[in-house]
Amino acid sequence: MKNKAGNDSRITALYVRVSTGYQIDKDSLPFQKKELKNYCVHVLHIPPDEIEIYEDAGKSGKNTDRPAFQRMMKKVKAGSVARVVVYKIDRISRNLVDFSLMYDAFKDNRTTFISLNEQFDTSSAIGEAVLKIILVFAELERKLTSERVTGVMIGRAQECKWNGARVPYGWAWDEASEKPVHDPKEAEIVKRIYEMYDESHSTSVVRDYLNNNDIPTKRGGYWTTKTVGDILHNPINRGDYRYNYRQSARGKKKPEEEVVYIKDVFPPIVSGELFDRVEKQMSANYTARHLNGSTHKRRYAHVFAGLLVCCDCGAFFQCVGADKTRLNGFKPSYYRCYTRTQKRACSAANTSDIVVGSFVFNFVSNLIGVSNDRRKICNAGIEEVERRLLSGDPFLDIAAIDSGSLRQIFDALRGVSRSASSYIPAPLPQSKEKGASIAAKRKEADKITRAMERLKKAYLFDDEAMDEREYLTTRASLEEDLTRLNNEIADAEEAAFNDVSELSFVQSASEFLLSYKIQSGEPIVYSDFAPIVGNETLKKFVNVIIEKIEIKNGRVASILFKNGLEARFIYKV
């Protein structure tokens, strides 16, 4: 790209960098920018409006992960940069591989590279050769420096000196001794972590305990199985010092001969016996999960996980653990609003299987009972439907079912709705043949209704269309056909309704005991019922028939079934 004078009109990019926020005079950003500008204006005679400065402060030169550098390289690859000028070559790169890739981009896009300090310009063959020689020595210097620092740090570690890393959870820094010492509060929690894992053999159980009791991590965050595992694996808790264990913070483990490991350097938080027992169990768990490529198997099914929604903020409730197993095998799960687990603005109370399970299964059982006796109950009125639906101890605190949802249930039971059966909580829909038959009859009934309207208009407004006798005869015939069709539709809907209300949605759980218990009409004691049927079966059942369950103040506020039926509850207090 040439200007009118025949010169390259592309920009000149000045790249400046320091690796810390402050460096001495000849490394500082202002000094670099001043020297580069003067060189471009007075030596290369480049107009100031064709100069752009790219500045990275506090960025290392060992890689190219620098925002200003990346922006500059995008312009280079777009062909918009005539030359890149730096004060020293190590300002732009100290890695030979990175520089080779960068320099290939320069050559492909006819970009000249200039370094003031080393006095070379790649527009000449000599300048390019000198550049590569200098860069080899720049990388060598960086590696030698790194090796010297590593050697010093390992030497300090071998002398049992701390190398400045952040002290782990359970420990605090002591300025006087320049060593980690026990943090009184955190050290007790570390002991509890080891004891809980020794009992449960599960980092998930420990994690849930810590989060449920609002115990923050070292940085004030939430516990994960990874952060729990890091504590359990850390030998400092048994008093040993380990250094140079990984290539980076989360990198690969180094060979054993490169690791510095010194025993009994610090006062232990837990005994060596407990530490070894926990380490052995964690190793066994890892082996079991990965044996023959097998993955971790779910040990416990939380029946209502993924269905509970917070009325206060709209977030889902998360399972935060399971209580101890009762003598009869019942082990209830506990749930907490996700927003609250993140310590954000929601004060929703927790809930559990004890509350939700008893409420939901007894309501479903009552709904089945009402649908089985719908003719008798509906004749008694909507109040009787509500009374039957709310019969039982789980509903003692409920004043009423919301009038809108109660009317919806009542209309479905009476068959008033055009598709009454669709409201009943059945996971297995009616057959296509039955559905198609009902739809066809409704379509034919609608045609007859429209024909009757047209017949009436023709008789009233067209004197020559027909006489009164013909009108009355035709209307009677149409009314007879319409009555017949409506009766057939009602019979077909009743048949579908019976299928649903009796076994179809109960049998989806594929367990005779579950089907029998729900249909028996007897009160369901969930804590006795659940361990017999099994959580997997119960979870499958509720996920088939229920869309969501809203929770307010730790109690069930509403149940929305998969096929539209909703029951909203009004509590006394």
Q: Are residues 264 and 321 in the same domain?
A: no
Structure-block tokens of residue 348: 């929703």
CA distance 188 to 566: 49
Angle between helices 403-414 and 353-372 (to 10 degrees): 40
Find the CATH number of the domain harbouring 56: 3.40.50.1390
- Residue 55 contacts residue 92 (beta carbons within 8 Å): no
Q: Are residues 104 and 175 in the same domain?
A: no
Structure-block tokens of residue 304: 């209502």
Q: Are residues 233 and 346 in the same domain?
A: no
- Beta 81-86 vs 11-18: how paired, if at all? parallel
CA distance 557 to 571: 8
Q: What domain range includes position 463?
A: 428-498
- Residue 555 contacts residue 351 (beta carbons within 8 Å): yes
Question: Cα 82 vs. chain centroid, distance in angstroms?
Answer: 47
Dihedrals phi, psi of 569, to nearest 5 degrees:
-115, 140
Residue in 57, 37, 47, 65 with CA at minimum distance from that of residue 10? 47
Residue 164 lies in a domain: no
CA distance 323 to 320: 10
CA 39 → CA 12, 114, 349, 539, distances in Å? 12, 11, 69, 75
Structure-block tokens of residue 244: 């140079």
Q: Decide which of 230, 260, 290 is a domain's last residue.
A: 290
Find the CATH number of the domain harbouring 277: 3.90.1750.20
CA distance 55 to 556: 58
Residue 160 lies in a domain: no
Residue in 233, 311, 301, 273 with CA at minimum distance from that of residue 543? 301
CA distance 283 to 291: 12
Residue 67 lies in a domain: yes
Name residues whose C-beta falls within 8 Å of residue 398's C-beta, 6 or more positions apart in sequence: 390, 569, 570, 571, 572
- Residue 421 contacts residue 498 (beta carbons within 8 Å): no
Q: Are residues 396 and 435 in the same domain?
A: no
Q: Are residues 268 and 371 in the same domain?
A: no
Q: Decide which of 262, 290, 318 is a domain's last residue.
A: 290
Series of mean pLDDT values for 10-residue runs along the chain (573 residues): 58 86 60 90 90 85 81 92 89 72 85 84 75 71 73 78 83 88 93 91 87 84 86 92 73 78 90 92 79 52 88 86 82 86 76 92 86 79 90 92 88 59 40 57 81 75 66 75 70 49 40 60 81 82 87 93 86 85
Q: Are residues 184 and 256 in the same domain?
A: yes
Q: Are residues 403 and 493 in the same domain?
A: no
CA distance 529 to 226: 36
What 8-state DSSP symbol labels residue 402? -
Nearest 5 degrees, angle CA 29-CA 32-CA 36?
Answer: 140
Residue 493 lies in a domain: yes
Q: Are residues 243 and 199 in the same domain?
A: yes
Residue 525 lies in a domain: yes
Residue in 187, 202, 200 with CA at minimum distance from that of residue 234? 187
Q: Are residues 487 and 544 in the same domain?
A: no
Q: Determine whether 503 is exposed, middle or buried from the number of CB atoms within 10 Å of its CB (0-12, 13-18, 19+).
A: middle
Q: Are residues 419 and 432 in the same domain?
A: no
- Residue 421 contacts residue 497 (beta carbons within 8 Å): yes
- pLDDT at residue 559, as a whole number: 93
Residue 460 lies in a domain: yes
- pLDDT at residue 200, as a whole number: 87
Q: Decide which of 498, 527, 545 is a domain's last residue.
A: 498
Q: Are residues 420 and 435 in the same domain?
A: no
Name residues whose C-beta falls within 8 Å of residue 555's C-beta, 6 or more positions apart in sequence: 351, 355, 359, 397, 571
Q: Are residues 382 and 352 in the same domain?
A: yes
CA distance 232 to 281: 11
Domains contained in the chain, number: 4
- pLDDT at residue 501, as a whole number: 40
Residue 296 lies in a domain: no
Helical spans, DSSP H, in 123-216: 125-158, 184-200, 203-212
- pLDDT at residue 504, as a whole number: 42
- pLDDT at residue 39, as a whole number: 92
Structure-block tokens of residue 246: 């990984």
- Residue 139 contacts residue 133 (beta carbons within 8 Å): no
Name residues whose C-beta falls within 8 Å of residue 344's C-beta, 6 or more positions apart in sequence: none
Half-sphere exposure of 484 (CA within 13 A, CB side): 8
Please count the residues of the chain. Answer: 573
Residue 299 lies in a domain: no
